[in-house]
Amino acid sequence: MRHGRPRDHGRRGARRNGARLPGLHRPGAGCERAVSERLRFHQTAFVVRDLDAAVRHWADDLGIGPWRVWTMQPPHLLDAVYHGTAVPCAFRHALAMSGELQFELVQPIDGPSIFADQLDATGEGFNHVGAVVDDHQAAVADLVERGFALLQSGRFGASADGRFAYLQRPGISMIVELIRPPSERFAPDYIYPAGLS
């Protein structure tokens, strides 16, 4: 029997005296530009059935706000595509910051969408994480090349130059949204609590 610290021949990733042992690999080693190193996720989004009630709950009970609420439909929402097919689509959403994290609440209104799909399948709850990208087309193409499926996309904003795309890798439940904010947004339908900015 050997006393003291056992020798660990099988462990990879350990260090001896602060030095990396031979043959060790950090997670993702050998991968060209891991997704987590390229994307800065700043948003987490939830699907709700009643957006106005949800906004009041998050603001009044959780202290998160103010919330800016928009109705996303033409002319606010353009070129909506769902699973590769151009379809009319409408939803309402609200945005608020809590520190550096942005929360989004989404209520589907009309037409097929990943939000309506979730309500039908599992009900209200977490839907996706979002990241802002500079080159939207290239970022979408990169994730598709890595095996992600493009679920839904469109253009938005008063300038119509905003872009969004929702992607998901088969076998992984989490949806990723890639966002390019528009240079100019429409004014929100309302802000809650009123008077805050």
Question: What are the domain boundaries of the chain?
Answer: 40-185
Identify the three-state secondary structure at position 57.
helix
CA dist 72 to 97, 111, 174, 190, Å? Answer: 20, 12, 23, 13
pLDDT digit string, tens, across residues 83-131: 999 999 999 999 999 999 999 999 999 999 999 999 999 999 999 999 9
Handedness of CA 110, 130, 179, 160 (dihedral sign): positive
Q: What pTM does this model have?
A: 0.80
Identify the three-state secondary structure at position 188.
coil
Judge contact between 121 and 127, C-beta under 8 A. no
Judge contact between 91 and 109, C-beta under 8 A. yes
Q: Which of 24-33, 135-144, 187-196 has the lowest mean pLDDT?
A: 24-33
pLDDT digit string, tens, across residues 13-39: 444 444 443 333 333 444 455 454 578
pLDDT digit string, tens, across residues 118-129: 999 999 999 999
Which residue's structure tokens are 């948003």? 43
The amino acid sitting at 88 is P
Pairing of strands 90-98, 101-110: antiparallel
Which pLDDT value is given to residue 13?
A: 42
Which pLDDT value is given to residue 32?
A: 54
CA atoms of 78 and 59, how far apart (whole Å)? 30
CATH architecture, domain 40-185: Roll (3.10)
Q: Which of 39, 26, 42 is nearest to 148 (CA)?
A: 39
Judge contact between 164 and 70, C-beta under 8 A. no
Judge contact between 129 and 41, C-beta under 8 A. yes
CA atoms of 86 and 94, how far apart (whole Å)? 24
Give the end-to-end CA distance of the chain in Å, rounded to a whole number. Answer: 69
Copy the structure tokens of residue 23: 């043959």
